[in-house]
């Protein structure tokens, strides 16, 4: 067995996760934020490992 198998498993595994998530929580293009955070005037609201959730 070569790395081709494990690398394919990694990519397919991620694709399955994305697919299952899309089925459970469908993406909504109508709630898209501005293209760039810089200059948007909105405070960043994404999850980050260095921050505690509000």
Partner 1 sequence: MTTLTETHIAAAAPVWRRSALVLAALSAVFATALLVGGRFGLMLAIGLGFGIVLEGLRFGFAGPWRAMILRRDPSGMWAQLLSIGLVTLIALPLIAASQGDLSGAQAPVGFAMIAGAFVFGAAMQVVLGCGSGTLVNAGSGNAVSLVALPFFALGSFAGAYHLFWWTGLGALPVIRFSGWQGVAVTLLGLAAVAALLWKLATPEHRRLPRRLIVAAGLLAALALFNLIVAGQPWGVVYGLGLWVAKAASAAGADFTGSAFWQAPASVARLKQSLLTDYTSLTNIGIVFGAFLVASWRTGGLSQKLPRLPGLAWIAAIVAGFLLGYSSRLAFGCNVGAFFSGISTGSLHGWVWFASAFAGSVYGVKLRPLLKLEPKT
Give me the least distance between CB of 32 and partner 1, in Å please.
Answer: 3
The answer to whether residue 16 forms part of the interface with partner 1 (CB under 8 A) is no
State the minimum distance, in angstroms, from the CB of residue 45 to partner 1. 7
Q: Which residues of 17-52 are buried (b: 16+ CB within 10 A; e: fewer)?
A: eeeeeeeeeeeeeeeeeeeeeeeeeeeeeeeeeeee
Least distance from partner 1 to the Cβ atom of residue 16, Å:
11
- Chain contacts with partner 1 (rule: CB under 8 A): 1-7, 9-11, 14, 17-18, 21-22, 24-29, 31-54
């Amino acid at each position: 067995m070569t790395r081709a198998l494990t690398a394919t498993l990694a990519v397919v595994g991620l694709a399955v996760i994305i697919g299952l998530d899309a089925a459970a929580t469908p993406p909504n293009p109508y709630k898209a934020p501005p293209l760039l955070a810089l200059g948007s005037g909105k405070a960043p609201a994404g999850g980050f490992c260095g921050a505690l959730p509000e």
